[in-house]
Every structure is written in C-alpha cells, then in structure tokens.
Amino acid sequence: MKALGALAVPLIFVLAIALLQAFYIVREDQQVIITQFGKPVGQPVVEPGLKFKLPFVQKAQTFDKRFLEWQGDADELPTRDKVLIFVDVYARWRISDALLFYQRLKDERGAQSRLDDILDGETRNAIARHDLVEVIRTTNRSPEQDEATPEEEFEEIETGREAIRKEILAASQPRTSDLGIEILDVQFRRINYGDDRTKEAVYKRMISERQRIADLYRSEGQGEAQRILGEMDRELKRIESEAYREAETIRGRADAEATEIYAQAYNQSADSRQFYEFLKTMETFESTIDKETWLMLSTESDFYKFLQGSR
Amino acid sequence: MNEVKFPSGGNVEMPDFGKALKRGAGGLRFVLLGILALILLLNSFYTINTEEVGIILRLGKYRGPETDAGPGLHFKIPLIDRVEKVPIERQLKAEFGFRTEEAAVRSRFSEETDEANMLTGDKNAAVVEWVVQYRIIDAYKYKFRVRNVDITFRDMSEAVMRRVVGDRTVNEVVTIGRGEIERQVEQELQALCDQYETGIRVDQVVLQNSAPPDPVKPAFNEVNQAEQDRDTLINEAQAQYNRVIPRAEGQASQAIEQAEGYALNRVNRSQGDAARFSSLYAEYRKAPEVTRKRLYLETMSTVLPNVGRKLVVDDSIEGLVPLLEMQQIAPAAARARTQEQGGGQ
C-alpha cells in the first residue's frame, strides 16, 4: 500500500503534465499551427475552442487572427514636381495563411520588417510618380464660395489621393501573398510640407495670396464708395435741375397768365392804351422822385403852363 | 494553456495528492483544500457595471451574443470561462491636434502640432483640431477583430480628416466649409470603421479649431480687416448719400412751392391791377379831360413836396449848366479858403 502510494505520486504527476500538454486553447482572436520537432503538421487551427495535440512531441504556435497594425517610416519624399513632402502611411494587415507565415517569416517582427520594405518602397514610388496636388486632392469638386471672397479655383487633378492610395495597395498586395500576409488597407495618415524651406515658401505664398485678397477688398470698398458718391452727385443734379425746371415753368405760366390779364385790361381800345400810359407815367413820377431829385421846370413845360394858365 | 492547468490539477489530482501528504500533516490538507475552494469561489463571480457588457469566452470560444452578460452580478465556471468587459454604453471621445490636460470648468489644453498640421487642396497649410465622439456598438468585433482598436481608430480618423481637408480650400477649412467637413469626415470615418470591423459607431465629429498656420495668421487677419474697411467705406458713402439726397429733395420741393407761391401772387396781383384799371377806365371814359388833369395834378401835388430842389428855368436862358456847377463848387471853394487862412496863422 505504501509502496503503491509512493509510486502513484510521481505517476500521477507525469500523467497530469501529459494531460496539460495534450490540450490547448485557441482563443477567439487566435490561430494556431502545430509543429512536430519544429516541422509544421496539418492545417492551421483557426476555430476557437479546446483542442488536442500529442503531448511533448507537438508544440502549438499561436498567431493573431485580427487586423494588425503597420506604421510606415514617416519620411520626406520628393513628388514628381520636386516638392519635398513628409508622408506618413499606415496599413492594416492580417495573417491570412499562418502556415506560410510561419515558414516565411517566423514571427511578427519578421513580418513588420518585410512590410516596411514593401510598403515604404511602394509609397516612395507612388509619390515620385505624381505631382503634389494629386497627392493632396481626391476629387475635382469645385470649392464652396462665399459671396464675399473672390472666386477660388482648384487645379485640375488626374489621379487624386484615393487613386494613389489604391495604387500603393494594389502594388503591395501581390508582393505579400506568398508570405501568408494579406494587406487589407493602406492609408495616408499624414502629409505635410517637408523641410523648413518649403514651408517658408508656402507661408510666403499664402501671405501674398491673402494680401491680394485684402487689396481687392479695399479697392472694392473704395470703388463702391465712389460709385455711391457719384450716384449721389447725379441724383443731386437731377433733383436740383428738375426742381428748377418745374419752378421756372410755373413762374413762366404765371407770368404769361398775368401778361394776358394785363393785356386784356389795358388793350381794350386805343383810348385805354393811352390812359394806361398816362397812369403808368404818373406812378413812375411818384416812385422815382424823392428828396435827392432836382426838378427843373422849364417855362415851356406842361406843368408850368398849367400853373400860368390857372393863375 | 495556463487556464487548463488549474482545473485539471484541482479536480482530479488534489485529493490523491493530499492523501500522500496525510501522514506528514493532517491539518495542512484541509488548509490547502480550503484555500483552493476559496480561490475557485472568488473566481466564479464577477460584476458588470451599468455601462458595460460582459463577453464570455468558454475555453476561448465565443458562443454568440445571447451569452453576453448585462449589468449586475454573474456566475461563471471558474477557470474555464473568461470575461471581457466592454463599456458599450459610454460615449467615448478622441481628441486630435490637442489634449485636454485637465477637464474642469476652465479646462487646460495642450497642443499636438504634428497631429493638427495638414495641407489643403489649394496647396496651403492649415491647423485643424477636432474631436470624435463614438460608441462601441459591437463589443465582440471591438475586442476580437482588430488589435489595438484605439490606435487604429486614431489612425483612421487622421487619415480621413486629412483626405477631406485635402479636397478643400484653406478658406473653406477656416471659415465656410467647417460643417460640411464635419459631416463628410463622420460619414467616411464610419465607412472605414465598418470596413475594419471595429464595432465602433461614430456619433459626431466636431471641428474645434481650424486656423491658418501661425506665421500666416496676420495675413488672414488683414483680410478680415480689409473686409471691415471695405464695409466701412461703403457705409460711410451710403451715409453721406442718405444725408445729402433727402435734404436736396426737400430743397427741391421748397423751390417748387416758392414758384407756386410766386405764380399765385403774380396772377392775383395782375387780376387786381386789371380790375382796378378797368374800373378806373370806365369812369375815365365818362370825362377823360377832367380826369386826366385831376390825376396829373394830384400826382404833382404829392410828388413836388418831396423834391429836394426845384428850379424854374426859362427856355431863353442859356448857359444854365455852368451855373449849376458853380452852385456845387461854391461851398467846396469856401472850405478851401478857410483852410488856407488857417495854415497862414
């Protein structure tokens, strides 16, 4: 009993370890390949759950099943029109064939390094094939205008950012297929002007652009103000002259009417004309003769005769 | 592999193992069993907070959304079930171009210039800061489809924002196109989230600050200033117009009214004059000679008293003019003489 007990303990211990060695768990986000003395056996296990393998002889190599990151080496690259831009690319990939992946690359570190070679290279090629504007813009949409600012227009693009991105993706995908890797997506994360000289030049251009707009605003303001003042002058002249015309017309009509009335009254007969002349002369005497006047009465004058006659 | 170790060790092996030790220490067996039981017990319960959902992996396998655990206290098979908690009800927020250092009534922020600098479609540069509010709507995808979802989500957001901004003028980015940018980024980011199976729903993209780069800012301000100047100039001209024209119109109607007044006056007076003349003439015709004489004399009698000097001159007298001049000169000569005498003294 004692001897059996003493034997049982190590036996059970070995059995337990064997049991532990025989089972392994594949998690929902994992895939596993089984190797026997370093040589892969069978197909990769992608279904999650509790799995069985030969203890001690076989080893489980676990790989990720999810979308994995790749971050490009952000670098300054020249475009076709010789502008140095800073391009930062990211990609998402996954291990599509764990067996192939294990054979070709062994682990993720190997994969990252191969992806660096492929994607950085393709990015460099794609950027060098296109002008800057093609890398920035996606579509040929026309910019939204606000009625205050002067009309802005874009340069026409032929390819565009999306198409270049797809170019990189399409060029990279076949190069990774025999590595057990599937590149799912490549995106430009950041694009910026590279060196300080380029930035300075861009800032300078932006400043001059804005100044152009500012000048335009100012001259627009002056022009509009002048126009308003001109309109004011014209309006003023119109108002004044129209008023003058109307006033003079009214006066003229009144004068004419008065003349007619006078004529009707004075022009009744030769006798009335004479009488009018006489009356007017008398009135004129009254209004013209005052203290400063010297009156010389000739002895021949009517008045004197009149005086003599009445004596 | 680690997960399997304990259950098999605990359930199968331990009683026998204990028996073997029994001789050495009887009490130790119970202590060990007790500790083991306690560990298992503690491992059997877990709580899910209100904003979370628990995803259960049984031996690494997910058995569908109906096994998800809602908020509350739950039981699981110890060491076999694994629980992943995902905050699906919480609204999450990612900041780009800046970081909230300390959220308070007056929050503090720091800038992340590399994240914020981007190029616009007219080859200009802009600084854009934004926030994405999102929620995890599929906890399973969020956990098991993408590794480091948060980093991936940030990368996607930056890529999409730059793509959208790259299709716009700097003017649109800084002023008029902001709402449009938010909408488009939201849409495209959601599409990308779906493509990557992140299980994330983008609730809202909010542009915080979108400005030209610092060295260019003064020039942009100058444009604003110029816009103001333009409006000021126009307003001033308009004001002058408004000051002058109504007054001129008033003056014009005044002139016309005055003319009307003149006309009335003229016509009325002429009618008056005519009426007076007609009446007078009617009387005159009855006795012309007498009336003429009477009028003449009446006039003379009013006029003559007012005359300064009256001379009656006979026609036969000649050289009257020198005589008149003497009359004027005489006083002046007299004055001259007295002056000479005064000078002699």
Q: What is the pLDDT of residues A77-120, one digit of tens each?
A: 999 999 899 999 999 999 999 999 999 998 899 999 999 999 99
pLDDT band at B343 (very low <50, low <70, confident <90, very high): very low
Q: Does B20 touch chain A (CB under 8 A)?
A: yes
Q: What is the per-residue pLDDT for A93?
A: 95
pLDDT band at A169 (very low <50, low <70, confident <90, very high): very high
pLDDT band at B13 (very low <50, low <70, confident <90, very high): very low
Residue type, B296: Y
Q: Picking from B17-21, B42-46, B194-198, which range would have the lowest pLDDT averaged per residue?
A: B17-21
Chain A residues lying within 8 Å of B124, measured CB to CB: 202, 205-206, 209
Mean pLDDT, residues A6-18 taken together: 84
Chain A residues lying within 8 Å of B281, measured CB to CB: 265, 268, 272, 275
Q: What is the per-residue pLDDT for B67?
A: 87
**What chain B residue is nearest to A160 in terms of C-alpha separation?**
B167
Q: Does B3 touch chain A (CB under 8 A)?
A: yes
In this model, does residue A295 exceed pLDDT 90? no
Phi, psi of A165 (to 5 degrees): -60, -45
- Return mean pLDDT, chain B: 84
Per-residue pLDDT tens digits for B77-123: 888 888 999 999 999 999 999 888 877 777 778 888 889 999 999 89
pLDDT band at B9 (very low <50, low <70, confident <90, very high): very low
| Cβ–Cβ under 8 Å, residues B193 and B200 | yes
In this model, does residue B25 exceed pLDDT 60? no
As a whole number of angstroms, the longest Cα–Cα distance in chain B is 192
Q: What is the per-residue pLDDT for B339?
A: 55
Give the C-alpha separation, A141 to B122, whole Å: 12
Residue whose entry in the numeric block shows the structure tokens 């009887």: B26
Give the C-alpha separation, B93 to B157, whole Å: 12
Q: Would you list the DSSP string of B209-224? A: EEE--GGGHHHHHHHH
pLDDT band at B3 (very low <50, low <70, confident <90, very high): very low
Three-state secondary structure call for residue B68: coil
**What chain B residue is nearest to A94 in terms of C-alpha separation?**
B146
Q: Picking from A221-235, B103-117, B184-198, B278-292, which range would have the lowest pLDDT averaged per residue?
A: B103-117
Chain B residues lying within 8 Å of A212, measured CB to CB: none
Q: Picking from A219-233, A261-275, B233-247, which range would have the lowest pLDDT averaged per residue?
A: A261-275
Q: What is the per-residue pLDDT for A227?
A: 95
Q: Does A7 touch chain B (CB under 8 A)?
A: no
pLDDT band at B4 (very low <50, low <70, confident <90, very high): very low
Q: What is the per-residue pLDDT for A5?
A: 65
* Residue A33 distance to chain B (closest CA, Å): 15
Give the alpha-carbon dihedral of A209, A155, A186, B114, to 10 degrees.
0
Mean pLDDT, residues A198-219 taken together: 91
Chain A residues lying within 8 Å of B166, measured CB to CB: 136-138, 161, 191
- Return mean pLDDT, chain A: 88
Three-state secondary structure call for residue B102: strand
Q: Does B47 touch chain A (CB under 8 A)?
A: no
Q: Which B-chain residues 276-295 have CB contacts (< 8 A) with chain A?
A: 277-278, 280-281, 284-285, 288, 292, 295
Give the C-alpha separation, A210 to A215, whole Å: 9
Chain A residues lying within 8 Å of B145, measured CB to CB: 29, 66-67
Per-residue pLDDT tens digits for A257-266: 999 999 988 8
Q: What is the per-residue pLDDT for B1?
A: 39
Percent of chain A with pLDDT over 90: 52
* Residue A36 distance to chain B (closest CA, Å): 18
Sequence-separated (6 or more) residues with CB below 8 Å from residue B276:
none
Q: Which of B146, B135, B51, B144 is nearest to B94 (CA)?
A: B135
pLDDT band at A13 (very low <50, low <70, confident <90, very high): confident
Q: Picking from B21-35, B183-197, B204-218, B232-246, which range would have the lowest pLDDT averaged per residue?
A: B21-35
Give the C-alpha separation, A194 to B32, whole Å: 66
Residue with the bigger pLDDT between A224 and B7: it is: A224
Chain B residues lying within 8 Å of A67, measured CB to CB: 145-147, 152, 196-197
Judge: B227–A217 Cβ closer than 8 Å, yes or no.
yes
Mean pLDDT, residues B305-323 taken together: 67
Q: Which of A146-150, A175-179, B338-342 has the highest mean pLDDT?
A: A175-179
Q: Picking from A261-275, B110-124, B325-339, which range would have the lowest pLDDT averaged per residue?
A: B325-339
Q: Does A258 touch chain B (CB under 8 A)?
A: yes
Q: Which helix (H) or strand (E) is A5 found in, with range?
A: helix A2-22
Under DSSP, the state recorded for B287 is S
Residue type, A297: L
Mean pLDDT, residues B314-323 taken together: 64
Give the C-alpha separation, B305 to B314, whole Å: 21
Per-residue pLDDT tens digits for B145-195: 999 999 999 999 999 999 999 999 998 999 888 999 999 999 999 999 999
Judge: A221–B231 Cβ closer than 8 Å, yes or no.
yes
In this model, does residue A310 exceed pLDDT 80? no
Chain B residues lying within 8 Å of A138, measured CB to CB: 163, 166-167
Other Cβ atoms less than 10 A from the Cβ of B172: the count is 24
What does pTM read for this prediction?
A: 0.71
**What chain A residue is nearest to B55 in terms of C-alpha separation?**
A28
Q: How many beta-carbon pairs under 8 angstroms link A with B?
A: 368
Helices B14-22 and B26-44, packing angle to 10 deg: 160
Give the C-alpha separation, B131 to B324, whole Å: 114
